[in-house]
Structure 1
C-alpha cells in the first residue's frame, strides 16, 4: 500500500496521511497547519502596497467598505462605489472603452502581490496584439465581483475584466481569480460573467492566464456576449 499512497500524496497539495502522534497531529504537521492558517489571515487583512499600484498605473477609487471588518460583514457594500468614487470615475476615466480593467484585493491581498506583475503585463500584451485598447485601469480595495456592474453603469465599457484575490485556504493564500463580462451594467448577475480561477504558482501560471484572457476578451467583443450563453 505504501507505493500507491505515496503516488496519491504526490498528486495533490491536500493533507493526506499526514501522520499523527496518538490522537493528535504530529508536531511538524501542526506547525505547518498553523503557518498556513496565519498566511490565510494575513492574506485577508493585508493591504496591496501603493508602490505596486503606482508601478502599474492603477487609478484608485473606493467601494463603500471603509475597512476589512465592514467588507467581511457587508458583501453588498463591496459591490457599490462611494459617491466620491463615482464622481472621480466620471472626471478622470475614459468612457466607453473596449475593455475596462479593474483590480481588487478582494479576500487576498497576497494574491494580487504575488501575481499582478506577471498577469497584467501579459494581458496588456495580448490586448495590444489583438488591437484592443484598454480604458483607464482601476484599483478598488475591498470590492466584490458585482463592483463590475457599478463601474459599468458609469464608464459603459464593452467588456470588463476584474482581477481579484480569492478566499485563501490552507493550501494557498495567493490564488487569484479573474471575472469578466460583456457590457456589465446594473442587473447583470454571475450567470452573465465568466471566470478563470486558481491563478497562482502551483495552479494556472499567471502569465499564461493573462495571454488567454486576451483571447477571451476578443471573443466577447466579436460575439457580443459572455457567461452561460458564451
Structure 2
C-alpha cells in the first residue's frame, strides 16, 4: 500500500541504520524551511488591495515583534479603531476580515478564490457585506474589535494558520455572531485546513456561507450553535 496517497504525514518512511534515509532527511529540511518562510514572509498587499480590502495595522511594528508579542497582535490603536468606525460600512449582516496570521502565503494562495465565492454567495442571498478589511500583523482576536467597531452581526476572519510540515499555505476561517472582546473563545466557529491539498477554497467558501446563514437565523455561534 502506498501510504503517501492517503496522508502526507511522515509514517513508514524507512531508515538507513538508526537514521532517516537521505531522501527523507532532505524532504524534512525542505518542509521545515517552507514552514519557517511562511511565518517570516509578508502577504502580497497589492493582491489584497486589488480585491478592495482596507488595510489596517495592529500595534505590531515588524515580524520579530509579532512573534514575541502576540498580545499586541490582538489589538489596535484608538486612532485605527476610529478610522475603521469613520470609513467602513456600519451594521453589515456579514463583516469579512483577512489577516496574515502565522502564514502569509496562505493569504496569497487562497484569498482571491475564497473571497470571490463569499461575496458572490452573500450577494445572491441578499445578505449585506461590510467593507472588507485586511489586518497586517493580525491575530484572531482582532475580529472582536472590528466587529464591535462596525456593529456586525456575523464576523468572518480569514487567517493564515501556523504552518506544519505538510503545507505552508493553510488558512482558517474564524466565525462569530456579534463577535466581542467581552465574550469567551468558545464564541467562535472554525473552518480550518483551507488550501489546495486540504479543503479547497471554493468548497470552504460554500461551507462558510452556509454556516453564516445559520448564525444569522439562530443568532448564535461557537459552542452554542448546533449545526
Match of 2:5 in 1: 10
Please tell me the root mean square deviation across aligned C-alpha atoms, in Å.
1.2
CA distance, structure 2, for counterparts of residue 84 and residue 43 of structure 1: 30
**Alignment partner for residue 201 of structure 1, among 196, 200, 204?**
196
Aligned partner of 1:161 in structure 2 is 156
Divergent runs of 4+, >4 A: none
Which residue of the partner structure matches residue 128 of structure 1?
Answer: 123
Unaligned runs of 5+ in 2: none
Matched, 1:67 2:62: yes
Query: Secondary structure at 1:32's aligned position in 2?
Result: helix
Measured against aligned partners, the alpha-carbon deviations of 1:2-37 in whole angstroms (never above 9, x if no partner) come to xxxx24443111011212222221111111111111
Taking structure 1 as the reference length, the TM-score comes to 0.94
Matched, 1:210 2:202: no
Paired position in structure 2 for 1:147: 142
Alpha-carbon distance between aligned partners in 1 of 2:56 and 2:77, rounded to the nearest angstrom: 8
Stretches of structure 1 that go unaligned for 5 or more consecutive residues are 1-5
Partners of 1:164 and 1:32 in 2: CA distance: 26
SS in 2 for 1:149: helix
Q: Which position in structure 2 is the counterpart of 1:224?
A: 219
Query: Offset at 1:43?
Result: 0.5
Q: Which residue, 153, 177, 187 being the options, matches 1:192? A: 187
Q: Deviations over 1:62-113 (max 9, x none)?
A: 1111112222222221111123311210221111111111000100001111
- Checking the alignment, whether the CA contact within 8 Å between 1:61 and 1:88 is kept in structure 2 is no
Residue number in structure 2 paired with 1:56: 51
Q: Distance in 2 between matches of 1:107 and 1:211?
A: 24
Deviation at 1:150, TM superposition (A): 1.1
**Could you tell me whether the CA contact under 8 Å between 1:125 and 1:211 is conserved in 2?**
no
Where 1:18 maps in the other structure, the secondary structure is: coil
